[in-house]
Structure 1
Amino acid sequence: MPELFKPKGDAKNEATTKTARAIIDSEAAARDAKTARLRAARLARGPAEEPPAKKKAPRRK
């Protein structure tokens, strides 16, 4: 059954949803690009060195 009209609130809701999704999509794309850039930089550095082992403090009795 086709709708003959849309309530006025639906147009505002659709505009808000469209804007919010555009913002979320752009943030996700930026996050993915940053992740790829950081991953490439990490791999370019080579194997990671292990941090020196920390000495444990002696236990008190």
Structure 2
Amino acid sequence: MAKLTKETVFKAQALKPETAMDKTTRIVREIINDEAAQRQVKSAQLRNARLEREAKTAPFKIAKKR
């Protein structure tokens, strides 16, 4: 029976080279994630601006019916 050591138990797996399709997929996902993050930041800024504007305006008074 072979001796169990770190080198024999935990073998490093050989990494396969990245294919062109893998590279394209990785880059596209990065772009999409970046755009989504930018969109969320912009939406938050617009939401805050809208809430601030609504807070500054006087609330509407409802006229009583006679």
Q: Deviations over 1:17-48 (max 9, x none)?
A: 000111111111111100000000101113x2
- The answer for the alignment partner of 1:45 in structure 2 is 57
- The answer for the alignment partner of 1:31 in structure 2 is 43
List structure 1 runs of 4+ shifted beyond 6 angstroms.
none
Larger Rg: 2
Would the alpha carbon gap of residues 7 and 49 (structure 1) be closer, same or farther in structure 2, given more than 3 Å must change? same
Distance 1:33 1:25 in 2: 12
- The answer for the alignment partner of 1:10 in structure 2 is 22
Letter in 2 for 1:33: Q
CA drift at 1:5 = 1.9
Distance 1:2 1:37 in 2: 52
**Structure 1 residue runs without a partner (length 5+):** 54-61
Q: What is the CA RMSD across the aligned residues, in angstroms?
A: 2.1
**Structure 2 residue runs without a partner (length 5+):** 1-12
Instruction: Tell me the percent identity.
Output: 2
